[in-house]
Amino acid sequence: MKRRHFLLGGVGAIGALLVGWSALPPKQRLQATEPLENMPYRPALNGWVRIGSNNTVTITMAHVEMGQGTHTGLAMMLADELDADWAQVRLIQAPPGDKIYNNLSLLPDGLPFHPDDMGMLHRGANWMTTKASRLLPGLMLTGGSSSIKDQWQPLREAGASARLMLLAAAAKQWKVPVTECSTANSKVTHAASGRSASYGELAVSASKQALPKSVTLKTPDAFKLIGQPLKRIEAASKLNGTAQFGIDIRAPGMLYASVTMCPVLGGRFKSMDASKAQAMPGVKKVFTTEAAAGAPPAVVVIATQPWQALQALKAVQIEWDEGENANFSSAAFIDSLAQSLDQDDGYNYYEQGNVSQALSKATKRIKAEYRVPYLAHATMEPMNCTVRFKEGEAMVWAPTQIPGMVPRLVADVLGIDSDKVQLHITLLGGGFGRRLEPDFFVQAAQIAKEANGVPVQTFWTREQDMQHDKYRPACVARLEAGFDDKGQLSAWQARSAGQSVTHQIVERLFGSSGMGPDKTTAEGAYDTAYAFPSSRISHQIVPGPVPVGYWRSVGWSHQGFITESFMDEVAAELKQDPLALRLALLAEHPEHVELLKRLAELSGWGQPITPGADGVARARGVALVRSFGSIVGQVAEVSVAADKRIRVHKVTCVLNCGTAINPNLVRQQVESGIIFGLSAALYGEIKIEKGRVLQNNFYDYLPIRMNESPEIVVEIMPSQAPPEGMGEPGTPPIAPAVANAVFTLTGQRLRSLPLKLA
């Protein structure tokens, strides 16, 4: 426990240095430091909303849209408090520089506390980390399923505040008490005199009103938009080809750059013969870039057309210096993770009761070792970024989850000040955590530097994208359960080892490695709601050469599998129904209990399953994981064919995410998370031999396709609690739910991913 105190002591010291914050006014997230430019026809009422004379309501998006539907949800929160006409809502991306657009939820969520521990230390550290997040530059970023919860308060306050200003403007114009005026559907009305004015008519006058000192937010019964299954706001553009992703940017005179990065982890450029490539049609330049911000060294071809760049790059003869990882093998590294668990437990994330004693007194103990592989994100839109560097100023068009980091990192490459970097954020063709990395836009800046002021679009092939990802870390875990002389579960111990994403990403973003414990390595193991008589959960960080990154649901993506599979092993040992065992261990958590009971009912748990048309027997498996604040339970209906192929027919999911801002988009995210997790559970595995990633494209890194896609039923538990994360929590339970069903069907306990029957 010593290290934990050290860390928290550090947080306290930072807090003491920054004591002056507590005096900051409460509306600091309402008005930008530099107020939005006051366009005459579209005045800004605060840092989040403008109202046009044509009645449009333009809402500022501090988060990026990568399919998770956050733009729609964020806009709904502000528009609801504003009483805006939803049809008039437009969106604009926030500038990355202003700190009111910082994400205040992400860092507190990364603290290594148990979510049910709301003691002073946790609350104090939360408070301080939130405060720090307001002040640190570069924290406009989208990840960790945090957008909606980050913006829940400020966007509603901004809507309510703007509404009061519109009311004040109308009351002043009509010379009536403001209390006699009301708002609805983008209009202010004075019922007594029958007058009304549209928000557009009032906008200029409203923008000159003082910012209200305080606002009263709606109670849930007054919500008009929040809780409604509204359509995704950008959907139409995605049906006619007009939606603009990063790779669709077409700046005037733009050239295309294709890259081949060093195929060996940590290797270097040695030499090349580009003479043939240089003579090919359209080729402008062949050169190399150095390793930077996680981008490996690369050979680059800039050409007039994308196909020309691709073809010419193939004609470059390249020799790499393979460096010290030329013999690295992921299989051997994963074996070494297991060996490292023989030596040391690492950091203790959670401990209750006396596990050692309970285990030594146990009349029966069961042990199991679990292993999970590296995984690629494989977003449908490969990595790309367009940069123009001209006359000391840079324009960057990037599909990025970390816009706040772009100006500084690009400026560093180009040797300019970060205020000379302009950023246009495009739609993202999938994120899943891949676009939290700076490698692709830093590389695009390196390339633009060589292009004499001409904009260049750097785009990766699928193979480059697959082989130069930042992978979900491989992990080895050893679990042990003890049972007392009455046959009851008395101890639960989980020890695991793997690389730390946080340590690496801190290095890629800031140049020096992170240190201390990394909560994301152990989430899903230490933070469950299960009341074990005694438990101890630890994780040991083992540094390694594989670049690792945040992958949808991060630690939960594998620790959820491990915890929930071993839970079924314990149930089997106790000869108890796995769902009933969970209910018993969750007795003090009514939300979990209600959810599980509903899941049992909806999935037909315990009822016989009729085989499908193929006549093959089916079984159900259950899993429950709370991640990013949301509780998600799933039951998978599975069959195993004669050729041992695992087939998932149906997934029933019940979740509690607090207030569901848009239940339709919540359902979409759960379906998405399930299929994303199922691809990994059945097929996902990145292997490295001789320092090289072996997978190339969708023929050897297989995603689920239509013919394997299960029927999915989703139910949302009603709640008026503040909203919790929903982009990722659908992913963790699916792998264990399937593995648990496979055990019921075959008696085989599959303890590694992807799931393969012997």
Partner 1 sequence: MITLNINGQAVQVEATDDTPLLWVLRGEVGLTGTKFGCGMALCGACTVHIDGQATRSCIMPISALAGKQITTIEGLQGPVADAVRAAWTEIDVVQCGYCQSGQLMSACALLQNNPQPNDADIDGAMSGNICRCGTYPRIRQAIHKAAEIKRG
Phi-psi region of 175 (alpha: psi -120 to 50; beta: other; left: phi over 0): left
Should residue 240 be labelled a site residue for partner 1 when binding is judged by CB under 8 A?
A: yes
DSSP assignment of 13-59? HHHHHTGGGGGS-GGGGTS-SSPPP-BTTB-BSSSSEEE-TTS-EEE
Candidate residues 127, 223, 245, 510; the one interacting with partner 1 per rule CB under 8 A: 245
Smallest gap, in angstroms, from Cβ of residue 428 to partner 1?
7
Residues 262-281 that bind partner 1 (CB under 8 A): 281
Smallest gap, in angstroms, from Cβ of residue 70 to partner 1?
11
Candidate residues 234, 412, 507, 577; the one interacting with partner 1 per rule CB under 8 A: 234
Residues 657-696 that bind partner 1 (CB under 8 A): 664-665, 668, 671-676, 679
- The residue among 252 and 718 lying less far from partner 1, judged by its C-beta, is 252
Smallest gap, in angstroms, from Cβ of residue 248 to partner 1?
4
- The residue among 82 and 428 lying less far from partner 1, judged by its C-beta, is 428
Smallest gap, in angstroms, from Cβ of residue 347 to partner 1?
33
Smallest gap, in angstroms, from Cβ of residue 258 to partner 1?
11
Should residue 378 be labelled a site residue for partner 1 when binding is judged by CB under 8 A?
A: yes
Smallest gap, in angstroms, from Cβ of residue 475 to partner 1?
22
- The residue among 250 and 364 lying less far from partner 1, judged by its C-beta, is 250
Residues 416-455 that bind partner 1 (CB under 8 A): 427-432
Residues 20-39 that bind partner 1 (CB under 8 A): none
Residues 6+ apart with CB under 8 A from 645: none
Candidate residues 291, 345, 703, 744; the one interacting with partner 1 per rule CB under 8 A: 703
Contact region for partner 1 (CB under 8 A) — 137-145, 243-251, 561-569, 597-605? 243-251
Should residue 705 be labelled a site residue for partner 1 when binding is judged by CB under 8 A?
A: yes
Side-chain-facing half-sphere of 107: CA atoms under 13 Å? 21
Coil/strand/helix, residue 404: helix
Candidate residues 69, 73, 97, 621; the one interacting with partner 1 per rule CB under 8 A: 69
Per residue, what are the HEC states of 503-526? HHHHHHHHCCCCCCCCHHHCCCCC
Q: Which amino acid is at 706?
A: M
Candidate residues 154, 382, 407, 433; the one interacting with partner 1 per rule CB under 8 A: 382
- The residue among 174 and 460 lying less far from partner 1, judged by its C-beta, is 460
Candidate residues 80, 248, 518, 685; the one interacting with partner 1 per rule CB under 8 A: 248
Coil/strand/helix, residue 417: coil
Across 472-598, the runs of DSSP E, i.e. the strands, are 475-483, 489-498, 535-541
- The residue among 95 and 727 lying less far from partner 1, judged by its C-beta, is 727
Candidate residues 697, 720, 721, 722; the one interacting with partner 1 per rule CB under 8 A: 697
Give the orientation angle of helix 663-682 with respect to helix 554-574, to 10 degrees.
Answer: 70
As given in the structure block, the two tokens for residue 305 are: 């057309």
What is the number of other CB atoms lying within 10 angstroms of the CB of residue 9? 9
- The residue among 32 and 680 lying less far from partner 1, judged by its C-beta, is 680
Helices then strands, each counted (H, E), the chain: 19, 26
Residue 573 φ/ψ, nearest 5 degrees: -60, -40
Smallest gap, in angstroms, from Cβ of residue 642 to partner 1?
20
- The residue among 400 and 668 lying less far from partner 1, judged by its C-beta, is 668
Candidate residues 15, 43, 67, 143; the one interacting with partner 1 per rule CB under 8 A: 67
As given in the structure block, the two tokens for residue 51 are: 């109202």
CA of 375: how far to CAs of 119, 207, 541, in Å? Answer: 36, 50, 18
Q: Which amino acid is at 505?
A: I
Smallest gap, in angstroms, from Cβ of residue 540 to partner 1?
32
Candidate residues 5, 250, 270, 644; the one interacting with partner 1 per rule CB under 8 A: 250
* Cα dihedral 385, 390, 395, 396 in deg (nearest 10): 20
Should residue 374 be labelled a site residue for partner 1 when binding is judged by CB under 8 A?
A: no
Phi-psi region of 491 (alpha: psi -120 to 50; beta: other; left: phi over 0): beta
Q: Is 157 exposed, middle or buried (0-12, 13-18, 19+ CB in 10 A)?
A: buried
Smallest gap, in angstroms, from Cβ of residue 575 to partner 1?
36
Smallest gap, in angstroms, from Cβ of residue 22 to partner 1?
41
- The residue among 427 and 505 lying less far from partner 1, judged by its C-beta, is 427
Should residue 379 be labelled a site residue for partner 1 when binding is judged by CB under 8 A?
A: yes
Residues 121-160 that bind partner 1 (CB under 8 A): none
Residue with tokens 């750097």: 458
Report yes or no: 525 and 490 within 8 Å, Cβ to Cβ: no
- The residue among 465 and 569 lying less far from partner 1, judged by its C-beta, is 465
Q: Is 191 exposed, middle or buried (0-12, 13-18, 19+ CB in 10 A)?
A: exposed
Residues 6+ apart with CB under 8 A from 176: 190, 192, 193
Smallest gap, in angstroms, from Cβ of residue 556 to partner 1?
17
Distance of alpha carbon 337 from alpha carbon 340, whole angstroms:
5
Residue with tokens 């152990």: 522
Smallest gap, in angstroms, from Cβ of residue 653 to partner 1?
12
Should residue 732 be labelled a site residue for partner 1 when binding is judged by CB under 8 A?
A: no
**What is the H or E stretch that residue 631 is in?**
strand 630-640
- The residue among 576 and 664 lying less far from partner 1, judged by its C-beta, is 664
Contact region for partner 1 (CB under 8 A) — 126-134, 231-239, 554-562, 716-724? 231-239
Smallest gap, in angstroms, from Cβ of residue 65 to partner 1?
8
As given in the structure block, the two tokens for residue 47 are: 């840092």
- The residue among 167 and 301 lying less far from partner 1, judged by its C-beta, is 301
Smallest gap, in angstroms, from Cβ of residue 313 to partner 1?
13
- The residue among 570 and 712 lying less far from partner 1, judged by its C-beta, is 712
Candidate residues 136, 236, 332, 587; the one interacting with partner 1 per rule CB under 8 A: 236
- The residue among 47 and 730 lying less far from partner 1, judged by its C-beta, is 730
Report yes or no: 503 and 515 within 8 Å, Cβ to Cβ: yes
CA of 269: how far to CAs of 37, 262, 296, in Å? Answer: 47, 7, 10
DSSP assignment of 637-671? EEEE-TT--EEEEEEEEEEE-SS-SSHHHHHHHHH
Should residue 68 be labelled a site residue for partner 1 when binding is judged by CB under 8 A?
A: yes
- The residue among 514 and 703 lying less far from partner 1, judged by its C-beta, is 703
- The residue among 35 and 229 lying less far from partner 1, judged by its C-beta, is 229
Positive or negative: CA dihedral 473, 686, 68, 47: positive
CA of 273: how far to CAs of 291, 312, 317, 320, 521, in Å? Answer: 20, 12, 5, 12, 43
Residues 6+ apart with CB under 8 A from 217: 81, 156, 157, 160
Residues 487-546 that bind partner 1 (CB under 8 A): none
Side-chain-facing half-sphere of 585: CA atoms under 13 Å? 26
- The residue among 304 and 329 lying less far from partner 1, judged by its C-beta, is 304
Q: Is 304 exposed, middle or buried (0-12, 13-18, 19+ CB in 10 A)?
A: middle
The pattern of x and - marking residues 291 through 320 that bind partner 1 according to CB under 8 A reads --------------xxx--x----------
Should residue 462 be labelled a site residue for partner 1 when binding is judged by CB under 8 A?
A: yes
As given in the structure block, the two tokens for residue 7 are: 């860390």
Number of residues near partner 1 (by CB under 8 A): 63
The terminus-to-terminus CA distance of the chain in angstroms comes to 41
Smallest gap, in angstroms, from Cβ of residue 242 to partner 1?
7
Should residue 287 be labelled a site residue for partner 1 when binding is judged by CB under 8 A?
A: no
Give the residues lining the site for partner 1 (CB under 8 A): 66-69, 231-232, 234-245, 247-248, 250, 256, 281, 305-307, 310, 378-382, 427-432, 459, 461-462, 664-665, 668, 671-676, 679, 697-699, 703-707, 709-712
